[in-house]
Structure 1
Amino acid sequence: LTKRFGTLTTPGFPSAFPLPFMCSWIINATGFEADSFVTLYLTQMYLTRGVKAVQYSFRNETTAIGRKELDELHTLRPRPYSVYRIKARYLEVQVNLDELVNANLRVERRFMDVYGFNITYEIQPNTSRIRSDTCNVANCTFNGHCYANHNY
């Protein structure tokens, strides 16, 4: 992925997707400012496990240099995160799920039929600020879905 912003989405989101599911997206920030950050907004993150981020100083199809595994990405932590800001020239978001048992957020009469995620990413210069008007399924108190695009 080489654009300044975009989305990462499980197949058929928000419907169920085939299992086992292994996939990765590589965000390439080399075409932007040298001090850029990759910002991930977990606006519709219904998975509670199986998604992680890995940063690289260089990455192509045959070579990976400076690999550093980061946290698992989800919104259910002692302090729910809806935004991750990562200084990386290459950021890989990996999904590895064998089954969905205890992997999807469930709230009776609210989220019984949603699966996977819809994550927005943005490559930002070091001088830019993280948006303060973001939401996710945890910190929007389950009152509804977050609908957003890159310029809301």
Structure 2
Amino acid sequence: MTKMTLGSHPHMLGFEQLERLLERTAKSGNEGYPPFNIEQTSDFSYRITLAVAGFAEEDLQITVEDRTLVIRGRQSDDGDGRVFLHRGIAARQFQRTFVLADSVEVGEAIIENGLLHVDLTRAKPETVVQTISIRRG
């Protein structure tokens, strides 16, 4: 039996990029840290919230690379000579990626109470009707 892909389905023309996008998302390697929420805040807006307790604003970097929202965190080791008897709060780096549709734009990012909020908006789709003329061959 042959595997049917989006790009090879006879009624799905031009969806090869979507198929590659799905494969890239599956391979993104996002692990469980840091935990996050995605909420729909209106019909055309979303908010991603990451739990980044212990990270300062300068420890975080947010970029959009090839329609992928990338959030990175790296805490600097202050090395102030502290001696830990137990270290249960990990100071590890992370990278979270979220693939964005072409119509989604990243808005502002806010950090408060150990939570990083990233607001996204999706453009309202325009209804496009195109009439194709038929000519004789």
State TM-score, norm by structure 1. 0.27
Structure with the bigger RCO (C-alpha within 8 Å, sep 6+) is 1
Q: Which structure features the higher share of helix residues?
A: 2
Q: Larger Cα Rg: Structure 1 or Structure 2?
A: 2
